[in-house]
Amino acid sequence: MNGDSPSEKAVAADLASPRFRVGVKRGHWRQVSYAFPVLIVAVLAIEPDSSSSEYSFRFELTGFPGTAPEVKIWDCATDALLPTGKRLKGSNRVAEAFKSWGSETVYRPWDRHGGTHNNWATAHPVLAWHPKRDLAFVLEDLHGLLTSNAAAHGNRQAA
């Protein structure tokens, strides 16, 4: 890659966008590494016991934004998929999003593989990927899921 491909330009524009940078400034997420087509972002989380933590996600961005990102919950220490037992526990929605399944990506309609599974994206277009979406859209959804345990504890200050 020479850095000038449309996909690389689109990723660069997203990383420089106000929505992405506001998320960083709020402490909701942080960029861990980026070498196109792989971007690693760590996202703030609230554990069931209301303590704060963070989980990393590996975005594979080939063909972005025409092709949806492939997003996996990631273990940066081993550079591999985070084992199921180490993933966030929480509500049914959290469990479904971060479950182990065929493609091993985050199970949400905006994901490259999740979106096409069981009509997921067609049934819920408001969460489906399309080329006008951006990385902040995905990160906002992830942050919402990862901090949803705060609602059970009233621990919104940390989220």
Partner 1 sequence: MDIEVMVEGEGLTEVETIRIPEGSVAREIAKVVAVKGGFPVEEAILFIEDCEEPIDLAVVVVEEEVGGRVHHVHRARRIDVAVFYQSRQIDKRFAPSTRVQRVLDWAVGPDGFKIDPAIAPEMELALHGQTTALPKNAHIGRYIRHPHHELAFDLIRGIVPNGASL
Binding interface with partner 1 (CB under 8 A):
18-19, 21-22, 25-26, 28, 90-94, 96, 107, 109, 118-120, 123-124, 126-127, 140, 144, 148-154, 156, 159
Residue among 57, 34, 31, 47 nearest 110 (CA)? 57
Complex with partner 1: residue 20 or 57, whichever CB lies closer: 20
For the CB of residue 94, give the shortest distance to partner 1 in the complex, in Å: 7
Complex with partner 1: residue 61 or 150, whichever CB lies closer: 150
Complex with partner 1: residue 93 or 130, whichever CB lies closer: 93
For the CB of residue 23, give the shortest distance to partner 1 in the complex, in Å: 8
For the CB of residue 112, give the shortest distance to partner 1 in the complex, in Å: 16
For the CB of residue 148, give the shortest distance to partner 1 in the complex, in Å: 4
Complex with partner 1: residue 1 or 152, whichever CB lies closer: 152
What the block records as the tokens of 66 is: 């025409």
Q: 68 and 111 in contact (C-beta within 8 Å)?
A: yes
For the CB of residue 114, give the shortest distance to partner 1 in the complex, in Å: 8
Complex with partner 1: residue 59 or 120, whichever CB lies closer: 120
What the block records as the tokens of 93 is: 């929605």
